[in-house]
Structures are given as structure tokens and as C-alpha cells.
Amino acid sequence: MSIKENIEAIRAELEAELEKAENGKLVEELRQKVLGRKGTLTALRRMLGGLSAEERPAMGQLINEGCEKIGALLDARLEKLQALEREQKLKSETIDVTEPRELPRVGVPHPTTLALQEVVSALTGLGFDIVEGPEIELDHFNFELLNIPKNHPARDAQDTFYVDDNIVLRTHTSPVQARTMLSRKPPIRIACPGRVYRADEVDATHSPVFHQIEGLVIDKDVTMGDLKGTLDALFKKLYGDDVETRFRPSFSPFTEPSAEVDLTCISCRGKGCRMCKGTGWIEVLGCGMVNPKVLEMCGIDPHEYSGFAFGIGLERITMLRYGIKDMRLLYEGDERFLRQFR
Ligand code: DAH
């Protein structure tokens, strides 16, 4: 075989082997096999020494050209492999920004908050200002100015959390009435949402901490008809035109006359269900015409002005609104319960 044929054979074999070389390391091994110290082409070059002076330059040139070609083949394969590797890496690292993923867990409004927002927004829509008062309250506002004398049963230690002789955790939102009458001049139209406290037991319908919304309207010639009309408008606005209110005579020291108000059960729409114990009605608030004694104590002339007041129990409404059967669920903060209000 001539040197030329030899080179050609080495090149052809290498080309075939390069096809199969799947990584850079294999390519380098092939490079050694041909061009290395013990390589096949290097061996050919050594044979040059045995040639005559006339033959040597031409053969030397053939070998050099062979080396260059083969080197180029090796480099080309290496480059191709590297490009492939890069492509694969890019592919494997690609982020599909359209792929759906688990959303971060965010908080949700508490059902009591949702119900409160509804009532507050309905009341604001009827022209009521929202006013807040302290939860730690003076006996003076919580009881005295509301015509609840020292020996009244509502002041029984069983109902009231006393901080000291003159300070209580407010047992209702009604003290905000007294505070507002003292600080504003009529006409007054306010709603006071807030947390209240009573030394009650804990069960499906009682909690020592709960929420009320107090309403107060003072103006000239305000009547019981205005009270009834306002409450009807409020609840129809909240729960639909088919709900009605029903007044029952009652007693409250700070209103005269006083009434308890039942609402068409918004759980069964009056048909009778577990929530309303089959009656179709649910008690939602206490109300009445502000007692002239209270007006007087709070600096408003009862001969010039009259007014009405009401106190809504928020938990009752929340439970009806969402079909919650046990009040304790509203205070436990169990995520499995709360997540349902997303
Ligand atoms: N404060 C009363 C309570 O906690 C509710 C109430 C009754 C509020 C009559 C009023 C009212 O404004 O006029 O049970």
C-alpha cells in the first residue's frame, strides 16, 4: 500500500469511527489514536526517514496535508458535539412560563367580616355615618348614661367583665350612642360596629366575645314608624325584597317603647328550618325610641328632638347568611372552615 493509500485508509477509518463518537472524550481518544505519539499517522511520518531524498518532500507534504485534514475532521466533530450538548442543556433548563403552578396561599376575609361589610355598606347607603368607640369602657357610658342604674340586673357580675369599679369591657355597642350624643349636635345618624364582651358560657349560640352594630338616629319628629321603615329598608336591601321584619314589645332601659325584632329567616326564607327552629322567624335585634331620660343625660332636649336606636347581633346574621350551625366555628380560626369563604 502506498503512503497515499495508507493516509486515505486512516482517514476513512477515522471518519467512520468519528460518526460513532458520542462525546468529546471519545473524539480526543481518536485524536490520540491517529495523531498522538503512538498514532497511526505519526507512525507513517516516522517511515519518511526510510525514503530517498527525492521522495521525501512530496511524501512529507502528503502526510502534512493528511494531518491537517484529519485534524479538521476531529475539530468539526468536536464542535458538532459541543453544539449538541449546549442545545440539550438549553432545552433541559427551559422554563415554561405558561405552565400552571400551585398558587401562594393567601388569607381570606373572615365570614363575620364579610357579613359586617354587607351591613355596614347597606347602612352607609342609607346615610348612616360609621362611628367607633372603645372596647374598654367607663361604667358611666356603658350603663349610667343609658339609664341602667346601679342595681339593674344587666349589671350583674355574671354578665359583665369588670376591669375595676368604674371600668368594664363594654357589654354592648350602645355606649357609642351616649358618646356621640355628647359630642355631636342633631341631626345624628350613626352606625357603630364593634366587639362586645359578656361573661357568657361558650356553646353553639353563645360566646364571651361577639359583635354588635348599633344604630342611632336623632332628629326632629323621628317616630317609631321611621324606625320600622329604616329596619325594613335595611334588611330588604341586605337580603332581598321578600324578607320582612316583625316587632315584639320588649323592655330596654334606654329605649321607651322598646321592641325586639324578628326577621324572616334568611336561611329558609320563612318556610321553617333548623336555624329558625321551624318558626320561619329569627330574632336579630333590639330597638326602640331613645328614652327621653337618656336624651336629657346626653345633653339633647327631649322636647325638641326624638330618636330611635337599634342593636344588631352580628354573629346571628353571619350564621344565617352562611348556614353556620355552631358559633364556635367563628372563633376557632380553623383554616379548613375559613378557606370556604374565599
Ligand atoms: N344593647 C342591647 C343589647 O346588647 C341591644 C339594644 C337594644 C340596642 C335596644 C339598642 C336598643 O340600641 O335600642 O342587647
State pLDDT tens for residues 282-337: 999 999 999 999 999 999 999 999 999 999 999 989 998 888 989 999 999 999 99
pLDDT for 215: 97
The pLDDT score that the predictor gives to residue 24 is 86
Task: Answer whether 310 contacts ligand 1 (Cβ < 6 A).
Answer: yes
In the chain, the amino acid numbered 218 is I
Q: Which residues of 265-275 are buried (b: 16+ CB within 10 A; e: fewer)?
A: bbbbebeebeb
Q: Which of 22, 19, 66, 77 is nearest to 40 (CA)?
A: 66
For residue 309 and ligand 1, the question of a CB distance below 6 A is answered with yes
Residue 157's pLDDT is 64
Q: Whose CA is nearest to atom 12 of ligand 1?
A: 310
CATH fold of the domain at 111-338: BirA Bifunctional Protein; domain 2 (3.30.930)
Residue 112 CB less than 6 A away from ligand 1 = no
Ligand 1 centroid, distance to 286 Cα (angstroms)? 5
CA-closest residue to ligand 1 atom 2: 311
**What per-residue confidence (pLDDT) applies to 2?**
81
Domain layout of the chain by residue ranges: 3-92, 111-338
The predicted structure's pLDDT at residue 158: 64
Put simply, whether the predicted model's pTM sits higher than 0.85 gets the answer no
Question: Residue 282 and residue 320: Cα distance in Å, rounded?
Answer: 9
Check: CB of residue 161 under 8 Å from CB of residue 197.
yes
CB of residue 160 inside a 6 A radius of ligand 1? no
How far apart CA 222 and CA 286 sit, in angstroms, is 18
- Which residues, given as ranges, of the chain have pLDDT below 70? 154, 157-158
- For the beta carbon of residue 151, count every other beta carbon within 10 angstroms: 7
Cα(174) to centroid(ligand 1), Å: 6
Q: What is the per-residue burial (b if ≥16 Cβ within 10 Å, else e) of 65-79?
A: ebbeebeebbeebbe
At 58 the pLDDT is: 85
